Amino acid sequence: MFKNTTGEVVHVPGCPPMYDYEWHPQATALNSTPLFTFAHIHTRSTEGAFVVSSSAYEEGAIKGWRTWFRAMGKPVYEVGPLSLPDTNWKDSRPSEKDLMVIDFMDRMQQRFGEKSLIYVSFGTVFFPADPSKVWILFDELIANQVPFIFAHTSELANVPDDKKKLIAESGIGMEMKWAPQEIILKHPATGWFISHGGWNSVQEALVHRTPMIYWPMSADQPYNAALVSLQHKAGFELLEVRTSAEGLPGQPYRCKDDLALEFTIESARREIRALLENVKGEEGRVVRKNCEELSEKMGKTWDKDGGSKRDLGEFLSRFIDGTS
């Protein structure tokens, strides 16, 4: 049922309305429907729920969860973000790969300045089923002299040798199977993070105040992309990279009848070119400022009077200490 679409508008508390087919932006070999079905069934058998997020990020959704669980007589505890700044990371012993990445980023920072590099990763599981638009992205990054790091951890990723050679010979790109993501995100050379928008990547980007450019595929990713780019206005989303048959060319998007997409190689190329200009201009400056403000709000959730600190204390009192 999760992937059955009829063109209806979906309203998630706190998130801008979207057509149901916008929740399935990429044709993917992974089927997340069983996960959602399993979660919905077994949620009712729990004694409560942890939300590894924060009201600073998704206040409306968390309020919705609390209302639903309260009706069942169960508590909801928000305990996010779970990725926190590591102030002692420079004191740890980096691996050989870490040093290689840091050296590359140091050189890119010296050559292009702070916040000039774009980090590209689609996480440990996901990768576009049709990677042709990924290769277009690298063509445009190289043509515009934008330094980048490309990590392709997923077993679904098949990067041809000619693409690896193109990146290596560009002088401004680095590709690898696995990358030390948090080292990259906290480095001053990093300006933007192109990502599928899975929650781990989102919270790590927010912790390190790195604005994201979303390329969502499935599961929670379309929600995160819409919430951050439209509600918080703290990121961008690439729309022309979509491939799913659920949303056909010419159909409206974002509940705007005048926003019809083409989903072609050339339309994706135009969108990427425009994006690379936008991130350097006023729109990029505003998005970065909003991202930093959202990051700051998220960081305060574990302060003494923060929501996550409070909720964790209430959980421990009720289920561990038995005092409430």
Where do the H-state alpha helices sit in the chain? 33-43, 55-71, 96-112, 132-143, 161-170, 181-186, 199-207, 221-226, 265-278, 282-299, 307-315
Q: What is the pLDDT of residue 24?
A: 84
Averaged pLDDT of the chain: 89
- Answer whether residue 117 shows pLDDT above 80: yes
Q: What is the pLDDT of residue 1?
A: 45
DSSP states of 166-223 as a string?
HHHHHSSEEEESS--HHHHHHSTTEEEEEE---HHHHHHHHHTT--EEE---STTHHH
* Contact by Cβ (8 Å): 138, 103: no
- Answer whether residue 48 shows pLDDT above 50: yes
pLDDT 10s digits, 127-168: 988 899 999 999 999 999 999 999 999 988 899 999 999 999
Q: Which residue has the tokens 């990924």?
A: 134
pLDDT 10s digits, 287-311: 999 999 999 999 899 998 899 999 9
Give the HSE-up count for residue 2: Cα atoms under 13 Å, Cβ half-sphere: 15
pLDDT 10s digits, 7-39: 888 888 988 888 888 888 887 766 667 777 777
Domain 95-299, second-level architecture:
3-Layer(aba) Sandwich (3.40)
Parallel/antiparallel/unpaired status of strands 235-237 and 49-51: unpaired
pLDDT 10s digits, 170-199: 999 999 999 999 999 999 999 999 999 999
Q: What is the pLDDT of residue 230?
A: 93
CA distances from 132 to 99, 129, 200 (A): 31, 9, 26
Label residue 258 by pLDDT band (50, 70, 90): low
* Contact by Cβ (8 Å): 276, 143: no
**pTM summary value:** 0.91
Taking the domains of the chain in order of start, what are their residue ranges?
Answer: 95-299
